[in-house]
Structures are given as C-alpha cells and as structure tokens.
Amino acid sequence: MANIPIWPGTSSFVSGSGQTPFGFYDSDASFRQEADKVANWCARRLGYPLMEIELQDINFYTAFEEAITAYSNEVYQYKIRENFFLMQGNSTGSSYNNQIITPNLGSTIRISQTYAIEAGTGGNITQYTASFHMTRSIQDYDLKVILSSSYGITASIEVKKVFYEEPPAIVRYFDPYAGTGTGIQSLLETFGFGQMSPGINFMLMPINFDVQKLQAIELNDQIRKSAYSFDLINNKLRVFPIPDTDKKMFFHYVLVDERNSVTPLSGSGLGPGRITDVSNVPYNNPVFALINSVGRQWIYQYTLAICKEMLAYIRGKYTTVPIPGAEVTLNQADLLADARTEKEKLLEVLRGNLDMASRKTQLENQALEAESIQKALNNVPMGIYIF
C-alpha cells in the first residue's frame, strides 16, 4: 500500500502537457483555471487531508474532461433527437454548437415528393416522355416493346400518363351538334370577327354560362359520339375508339428502379457532405467558458462521482491493509456503490431538465399558462359604461 502514489495536496495544470487523455479543452482558459480547483475540491470531498487519496492530478483532470464531455453529449443528443427531422439533408460543413435550429419544411417536402410523383404533380423522380405512331385499325400496343425497340430501354417501367384525349371543349366552344349554339355565328362573320375567335358571344356573360356550355359539349360527346378512352394493363395499351388515322401518341413513364430506390438518385441534396443520420450531425465539443454555472455544477458533481469510481477500483485491489497490531478495512464497496448511484441520478436529473426544455413541453406549458390567464381575467368584474 505504501508504494501507491497519493494526492500530494496541490497540482498545476499545464496545457498541452498530456495531463488530459484527449486534450479537448486544454486550450480553453476557463478549463485551465478550473482544473486545479476541481482537483483540490474533489480531493477534499474524498477525505483529504484526513485520509490519503490514492489519486494523482492526472486522474482528477481526466475525470474533469470526461464529465464535460458527458454533459455535452447529453445536451447534444437531446438537441439531435429534438431536431433531427429538421436537420436531415443539411450540410455537415458548419457546426451547430450555440446555434438556434430554425424549423423548416425541408424534410416534410422531401417526404411529400414521393407522393407527388404518384399524383402527377411533381416529385423527386424523373418522368420520361416517349411517343410512338399509332396505326390505323390497330388498337393494341405494348409500350415496353416500343421503348425497347425505339429507345433501347429494357428496364422495368411504369406508365404514368397516356395522352389520348379528345380536344377540350373550350376549343370546340361552338358545337351545333351539342345543341348549345348561340345562333350568332353568322353575325360574327358579318362584322368580320369570325376569323379571330370561335363562335362565342362577345357580350360579357356570367362564368357559369361558359361552364354550362363546356359541360353540355362534353356530355354530348360522351353520349352521341364514340368517347376517347383507353385501357392500360401491364404496360399494354388498348385505345378506344379504334384509330381511323395514323397519328402520334405520347406517354409519360418512370423507371421502376429509380422509383423504388431508397436513396434519391439526383436533385435531392442528400449524399456526401449531408446529414444522413445521427452520427454525422455537426456538433463539436463545447467551449467550457460558455457553459453556465448550472451546467458547471453538474460537471463538478459528475467529476466527483468519476473520481469516487476510480478510487474504488484502486482500493478494490486491497480489501484490508495491515497496521501494527490490527487491520484496516477499505471502503471500496461503499465508494463504488455511491459513485454508480450518483452518476445515474445526475444523468436522470439532466435528462429530465432537457425534456422539460423540449419544444413540445414548452408549447404545452405556454398553452396552459394562456388558459390560466384567461380564466383569471374572466373573474375580473366588467365595468358598466353609461352613455
């Protein structure tokens, strides 16, 4: 036991001398000033000078460095949990230390893009366009065969839209077969307006007048004429009615491999240099000088718990120590139990405080406060004004 180095009573921290394992905070003036104070405080809390403390200055410095890192890890893990949905996809190039995370819709929009491609309103997957010539009297076409033979595309595809539609009713506004003619077509020709517009009324009419005409024309085509339509099953297209002329047909499609890819192929802002998971969120070790007194007090207590744990392991090598005429039993078991309990309690308190500071909890507290204020104001007598 006599050969074990003990705390000499004083220490002198020197930056860059290797007294801390990682040197995370050696360049921080506040850390350098606090290191010897923390070592002296921990030694006294462990019983020095009434008892010998089998630790040296480097043990206290190590515990101090670990406590700061443990504190920052808890704080930053909370921040990551709270804001990861907002952070995902952002650049890893700049640190989030001491930065306010501004809410945004980036991740929400990125998720909604997968639905937009199915709804035909955009999306993050490329929609390709292809075309082929329909042949008179042939109404069945295999679009996959067409892509393979005409475009060299053999991958699986999914057709999103087929442009096989009759002209919209607005371009056939005057349709005498629909029974909706205004009867003024000849009048327009008389005044020289016939070549400038379809047969419409130049008198300002309510918008429902135009809508009813369009609906009448479309209903007329649906009932009296052979409507334009098609069936699409497994990329095999059947058009109705049977084509009576040779004309070009266009369609949109996507590649199934691109649509099913778990990582967007282009234009997404994700990839190298971007936040993809909790491991590359850019939080660095904190600046000790910027940690407030509340945080420092937690760090001091955690440093002491680590020192108790180290001292317990050291004393655990010697259950008893012989002295003249007797033996001394060391308190290894008590130290180790206290150290573990204190560390657990400190982490529990810190995590509870962080949860209370969460965005959700703060908003709930504000809502309760506003409700309580409103209830109090409702009890205030209302004045009576006489005019």
Local structure of 131: helix, strand or coil: strand
In a domain, 322, yes or no: yes
Residue with tokens 């921080």: 28
Same domain, 223 and 244: no
Same domain, 153 and 136: yes
Cα distance between residue 164 and residue 241, in whole Å:
11
Residues 135, 246 contacting (CB under 8 angstroms): yes
Number of residues that this document lists for the chain: 387
In a domain, 380, yes or no: no
Least confident of 134-148, 214-228, 361-375: 214-228
Same domain, 171 and 161: no
Average pLDDT value for residue range 313-330? 66
Provide the β-strand partners of residue 248: 133
Same domain, 334 and 257: no
* Span 256-298, pLDDT tens digits: 888 887 765 444 455 578 888 899 999 999 999 999 999 999 9
Q: Give the highest mean pLDDT range of 105-114, 188-197, 364-373.
A: 364-373
In a domain, 378, yes or no: no
In a domain, 253, yes or no: yes
Summary mean pLDDT of the chain: 84
| Structural domain total, the chain | 3
The answer to whether residue 381 scores a pLDDT higher than 70 is: yes
pTM of the model: 0.69
* Span 134-169, pLDDT tens digits: 988 899 999 999 999 999 999 999 898 898 877 676
Same domain, 101 and 219: no
The answer to whether residue 187 scores a pLDDT higher than 50 is: no
- Percent of the chain surpassing pLDDT 90: 44
316-320 CB contacts, 8 Å cutoff, 24+ apart: 318/1
In a domain, 93, yes or no: yes
Least confident of 53-67, 91-105, 300-314: 91-105
Residue with tokens 């506003």: 370
Query: What is the pLDDT, as a whole number, of residue 320?
Result: 58
- Percent of the chain surpassing pLDDT 70: 82
User: Which class for 348: exposed (0-12), middle (13-18), buried (19 or more C-beta within 10 A)?
Assistant: exposed
Same domain, 110 and 207: no
Chain Cα centroid distance, residue 246: 51
Same domain, 3 and 77: yes
Cα distance between residue 251 and residue 164, in whole Å:
9
Q: Give the highest mean pLDDT range of 29-38, 131-140, 210-219.
A: 29-38
Same domain, 35 and 109: yes
CB count in 10 Å sphere of residue 210:
15
Q: Domain range for residue 153?
A: 125-165+234-261
In a domain, 301, yes or no: yes
Residue among 127, 94, 89, 122 nearest 105 (CA): 89
Average pLDDT value for residue range 125-140? 90
Instruction: Decide which of 316 and 182 is more confident.
Output: 316
Element (DSSP H or E) covering residue 138: none
Same domain, 63 and 5: yes
Same domain, 211 and 294: no
- The DSSP result for 177-206, as a single string, is GGT---S-HHHHHHTT-TTTSSS---S---
Residues 85, 68 contacting (CB under 8 angstroms): no
Same domain, 311 and 216: no
